[in-house]
Amino acid sequence: MTDQLEALYRARLPEFRRVAAAIAGDRELGCDAVQEAFAKAVRNARSFRGTGSLEAWVWRIVVNAARDARRRRPVLAEPSDHGTNGHTPVLPLELLTERQREIVFLHYYADLDYAAIAEALAISPGTVGATLTAARQTLRGALQEVQT
């Protein structure tokens, strides 16, 4: 099992790090969360029952580790105004729920399909699709408001 985890780590590390960084809100915290998550997976390998895919099981651990990292992150003052002032707009992710953000990150950064995201987050594929559609609508609407 450790070899399988190592193969997964080597094969998908950039995607794990990117999603974890997005959830944690910090690149270093994201990288650290991935290391912690894989360490936890190695320690708890026996609890993997083999009913789903190993990758989905690891994604769930990584997402949880990134959530924990985000909660422990020092709170910094952030600009609340996303007006462009002629600059490139930024994504108003604070308009999304935590679940919507996670699904957006897993879909775009890790290229996971609905079934894989559903398995990783322990929800139904239908919920993934509906949540992703709602998130896209929210973001597109906000971007149009900013750009007009």
Residues 48-67, one symbol each (x = binds other proteins by CB under 8 A, - = not), give: -------x------------
Count residues binding other proteins (CB under 8 A).
Answer: 46
What is residue 75's DSSP assignment? P
Is 91 a residue that touches other proteins (CB under 8 A)?
A: yes
CA angle centred on 118, ends 14 and 142, rounded to 5°: 75
DSSP notation for 23-41:
HHTSHHHHHHHHHHHHHHH
The single-letter DSSP state of residue 10 is H
Closest CB to other proteins among residues 36, 102? 36
Q: 77 burial class (0-12, 13-18, 19+ CB within 10 angstroms)?
A: exposed
Binding segment toward other proteins, per CB under 8 A, in 67-75, 76-84, 85-93, 121-129: 85-93
Among 62, 112, 121, 132, binds other proteins (CB under 8 A): 112
Other residues' Cβ atoms within 10 Å of the Cβ of residue 40: 15
Give the range of 13-21, 61-69, 71-79, 118-126 binding other proteins by CB under 8 A.
13-21
Q: According to the binding rule CB under 8 A, does residue 73 interact with other proteins?
A: no
Question: Hunting for tokens 């679940």 — which residue is that?
Answer: 99
118 binding other proteins? (CB under 8 A): no
What is the rounded distance in angstroms from the CA atom of residue 49 to the CA atom of residue 52?
Answer: 8
Q: Which residues bind other proteins (CB under 8 A)?
A: 1-4, 6-14, 17-18, 21-22, 27, 30-31, 34-36, 38-40, 42-43, 55, 88-91, 93, 104-105, 108-109, 111-113, 116, 136, 139-140, 143
